Structure 1
Amino acid sequence: MRDDVLELLRGANRHWSSSLGAILRELLAAAGGAAELLAQLPEQSPDATAATWLTILGRAVARGEAAPEALHPRVATVAIVLLRNEFVVRGVPTAPDDVLVEIVDEVYLPLVRQRGATPS
């Protein structure tokens, strides 16, 4: 699962760091979360994003790498939302790889693995 998630984040990072990505970043910043505008950008639509991440997470659940309770769109998309935050809120032109690794190792994996765990 870790490799799959990092691959998705690295691909998104390359895309958002490109010339086209710079335009998308400007549109996202200008949209200010306006659902109507974001829905016009297929790869930015919440449904398309959630579907991709739910597929990856569903495969991880089937392999026993994630808790079944993690199969929720908000949980599944946490990593990509955090990456998007780097671009839109922080204004970075590209996210360093160590940031991607941190998102995966420090936030995403603990979240999806412990989602169904009961506190001791």
Structure 2
Amino acid sequence: MAGFRRRGEELEHALLTAAWAELLEVGYPKMTIENVAARAGTSKPVIYRRWPTKAKLVIAALVHNLPLHESDIDTGSLRGDLIELVGRGVKRFVRVPGDTLPGLITETFREPDVFAELRSRLRQSEIVELIRPLLTRAVERGELRTDQCDDRVLRVPFDLLRTETLIYGVLVDDTAIAQIVDLVALPLLRFHCG
């Protein structure tokens, strides 16, 4: 349609969708703002006004294309809920091209503000908020004494997942998820919240 210009959320959605498609197709090292702009049918300045670096664009694309909506988890047990939550987290993570996080980490060391944003995202404060309702239901079922656990305790299973995948290159399958829940998450929660 001649003369039609996307704006606001519509434009942002188109840009982040194009960035995600480019990331999936060519990977982080080969991804360029020029190619994202071409894919989105816009210009580089339009992208740079919103995200001044490739790293910032990729972080935004990850958040936009892999949203966390896990509030519907209720398997009837804390163990089942944790396995489901961790499993969904792993499924989100494996959708990210393997060179993305290492590329982001390498690039963002030169950009302190971007590195801070990446660290904030990796800390996954959203995960803590997703676990809290699971703990509340566990208290209601008599599985835990309290749902007031320290955030650091709640992040441990996901920190372990990131370490195993990013540093050790371990494929996290259903068996590994069950082990992380049974050997780490449940004992930790029962000790600190039980």
TM bucket normalised to smaller: 0.7 to 0.9
Larger RCO: Structure 1 or Structure 2 (Cα < 8 Å, ≥ 6 residues apart)? 1
- Residue 35 of structure 1, aligned match among 87, 106, 116: 116
C-alpha RMSD of matched pairs (Å): 2.6
Distance 1:9 1:116, change over 3 A: closer
Q: Output the CA distance in 1 between the equivalents of 2:155 and 2:97.
A: 19
Q: Does 2:110 align with 1:22? A: no
Aligned to 2:185: 108
Q: Output the CA distance in 1 between the equivalents of 2:103 and 2:133.
A: 27
Higher share in helix: 1
Structure 2's unaligned 5+ residue stretches are: 1-77, 110-114
Aligned to 1:64: 142
Which has the larger displacement, 95-104 or 45-54? Answer: 45-54
| Secondary structure at the counterpart of residue 98 of structure 2 | helix
Q: Output the CA distance in 2 between the equivalents of 1:24 and 1:50.
A: 24
Structure 1's unaligned 5+ residue stretches are: none
Q: Give the alignment's TM-score, normalised by structure 2.
A: 0.48
Name the % identity.
30
Paired positions, count: 111
Distance 1:97 1:25, change over 3 A: farther
Q: Output the CA distance in 2 between the equivalents of 1:50 and 1:24.
A: 24
| Secondary structure at the counterpart of residue 138 of structure 2 | helix
